[in-house]
Chain A
Amino acid sequence: MATVTYLEAIRQALWDEMEQDPQVFMLGQDIGTYGGAFRVTAGFLEHFGPGRIIDTPISESAMIGAAAGAAMMGMRPVVEMQFIDFISCAFNQIINFAAPNHYRWGQPVPIVVRGPSGGNVHGSAYHSQNPESYFQHTPGLKIVAPGTVADAYGLLRAAIRDPNPVLYFEHKYLYRRLKDELPAGDDRDGLVTIGQARLARAGRDLSVITYGAMLQVALEAAGRLEAEGIDLEVLDLRTIKPLDQEAILATARKTSRVIVLTEEQTTGSVAGEVAARISQDAFEWLDGPVHRLCCPDTPVPYSPTLEEAYLPNVDKLVARVRELASY
């Protein structure tokens, strides 16, 4: 076992898939000589060559459109968005071409679009977004958002092998902060099944359903609340689309109190969808309202004091847990 960062796990997953499957290649901005804005692909150009590590113009729509075209021909393209915020520039290619293609005429489009999402690094409105909810609405897409080193690795390998278009939202706050062990060399397998949530912490009293960087917030809050005698259960969704309905309902029925903690603006969020499912299918088990603890309905602000006010954190979660626990 070797200890690696979350970012290194992403790099290793890309590397291993490219080594294993000659159909895998990458399209992105500054991913070649420069090695990517966050150095995820440092060293790739030298090893895999310019035929498979392709620097593109600043044309997100053309990058993802071209990836879709190549994928239909049997390639396995991985497109890097320099920041996931820029995925909006390719909205049409994703939701109107890639996503419904298999439904419409039976042709799979196995592309992966990945890139750094999330805030807490003072990136302001266009380098901090969590745009997953725009895409959770679109049939045909899969969306994953790893919150651990093992999932960063395993979900990416699974995404590349998946026959559907997969959006892989990595969290830039975790890139170098999160470290964990990854099996080394040939022992490495680590595939994570897309569509399966993971019980990150078993507990009795209240469930926090979350994903991405908020997983660490939930686990830290759980540690703090333990001293107060509140036993939190933490469910890491890992896959945002399709949601693991069974795991969501199971934890709701077990603890009867649920907070859905995500780093998105509240209205129209993934958290809202999770809350709706619980309200509809686990209503009789509930001892209180399902809470969404998300960001306010504002753009992501820049100043640290404003961003702190904007983002969910351990203090805010602990306060919300106490409120719901005493409902």
Chain B
Amino acid sequence: MKTGKSWGPLHPATETIERLAKTSLPRERQLDLYHYMRLTRMVEGRLGNLYRQGKVVGGLYSSLGQEATAVGSAYALEPQDVMGPLIRNLGSMLVRGVQPREVMMQYMAKSDSPTGGKDGNTHFGDLKRGLVAPISMLGALIPVMAGVALAGKMQGKNLVALTYIGDGGTSTGDFHEGLNLAAVLGVPFVLIAENNGWAYSTPTSRQMRIRNIATRAAAYGIPGETVDGNDVLAVYEVTKKAVERARAGGGPTLIESKTFRMKGHAEHDDAGYVPQEQFEEWRRKDPIERFERHLLANGLATEEDLKAIVAKIDAQLNQEVDLALASPMPPAERAFEGVYA
């Protein structure tokens, strides 16, 4: 019997490349990408503070190191498009117009949070902003978002539905059922598979025997792309292409974004099972620092420009934290409301 290498962490085989993907995005829009990646990291930084102060009542999840995938993909969508983010897609939600205070209030279970304290973290949606709330059962959003795409097609709305899945989530039945259904129906749908190396403590090599998740696209007869998930421009460009193809009637695309989860599954998890050299390797590929070097090297921004962006976000987040903290806890009777529409 032919056997593979011994089980062990299979980390994405991208090389550290300083040169980012070619883009047609003008300077202002590239700075916009920078803003959203920085905003994501800084919101999560503030959430970490609130967590350590005991103000977050549940778990706290981080997308540290994965900001380029979230931001670059969401940035490729049009206003009429609909997105189903997962727990490491805070950046996608911020691009869609979610305010930092909304996420902070969710984590702190406040009365004025988007779910009024009924659910936490990024588990909220708002179809007016094209956002569908995820559930914790991974893969479930894939059929749901295929259905969103189907409805959009039936209603002639010219929309594209996009959602995410992790390397671990590709092992679910819904990944197969949903992607296959989307492919068979030919609906305008894009699935971003974030291969971040680890599903909680389980390495990707324990989820699958293939090196590239994108090869699974062949099984559904749809295009599959593998992209450097720490290059925001590459993620943007490949998503844009898939979104345009979907909008033009070309059906779904599976995009694998190779990236890395720089923290544990959640804040409580010190990720001691991840070899240090993996963290060190991926720290060198940090998506925000890489993008900064790109912006500076190509004369798109100065050190001062970038500092100004950070300072502006910092000031904004001071206000956002205050607003979030000021919200009361929900009234007890709300627990019984809203079971039925």
With a 10 A CB-CB cut-off, give which of A54, A69, A101 has the most chain B CB atoms: A69
Q: Are A57 and B144 in contact (CB under 8 A)?
A: no
- Mask, B98-130, CB within 8 Å of A = 1, is 000000000000000011001100011111000
**If the complex has contacts A61-B177, A102-B341, A140-B339, are A69 and B144 also in contact, measured as CB distance less than 8 A?**
yes
Q: Are B119 and A62 in contact (CB under 8 A)?
A: no
Q: Is residue A35 contacting chain B, with contact meaning CB distance below 8 A?
A: no
**If the complex has contacts A74-B151, A105-B115, are A164 and B341 also in contact, measured as CB distance less than 8 A?**
yes
Q: Are B154 and A75 in contact (CB under 8 A)?
A: yes
Q: Is residue B133 contacting chain A, with contact meaning CB distance below 8 A?
A: yes
Interface size of B in residues (CB-CB distance below 8 Å): 42
CA distance A169 to B142 in the complex (A): 27
Q: Which of A92-100, A173-181, A225-233, A292-300 contacts B (4 or more CB under 8 A)?
A: A92-100
- The residues in B between 125 and 146 inclusive whose CB is less than 8 angstroms from any CB of A are 125-127, 132-133, 135-137, 140, 142-146
CA distance A296 to B173 in the complex (A): 33
Q: Known A-B contacts: A52-B154, A61-B174, A92-B137. Give 15 more (CB < 8 A).
A: A51-B154, A57-B180, A59-B143, A59-B180, A67-B147, A69-B148, A69-B161, A73-B148, A93-B174, A96-B135, A96-B140, A105-B123, A106-B338, A107-B125, A110-B341
**If the complex has contacts A57-B180, A105-B115, are A69 and B339 also in contact, measured as CB distance less than 8 A?**
no
Q: Are B133 and A105 in contact (CB under 8 A)?
A: yes
Q: Is residue B184 contacting chain A, with contact meaning CB distance below 8 A?
A: yes
Contact among A52, A59, A96, A110 with B181 in the assembled complex (CB-CB below 8 Å): A59
CA distance A59 to B173 in the complex (A): 9
- The residues in B between 145 and 196 inclusive whose CB is less than 8 angstroms from any CB of A are 145-152, 154-155, 161, 173-174, 177-178, 180-181, 184-185
Q: Are A65 and B185 in contact (CB under 8 A)?
A: no
Q: Is residue A289 contacting chain B, with contact meaning CB distance below 8 A?
A: no
Interface size of A in residues (CB-CB distance below 8 Å): 42
Chain A interface (Cβ < 8 Å from any Cβ of B) = 25, 51-52, 54, 56-57, 59, 61-75, 77, 92-93, 96-97, 101-110, 139-140, 142, 163-164
Q: Is residue B340 contacting chain A, with contact meaning CB distance below 8 A?
A: yes
| Chain B residues near A106 (CB-CB < 8 A) | 115, 338
| Chain B residues near A75 (CB-CB < 8 A) | 151, 154-155
Contact among A61, A62, A72, A101 with B148 in the assembled complex (CB-CB below 8 Å): A72
CA distance A57 to B127 in the complex (A): 28
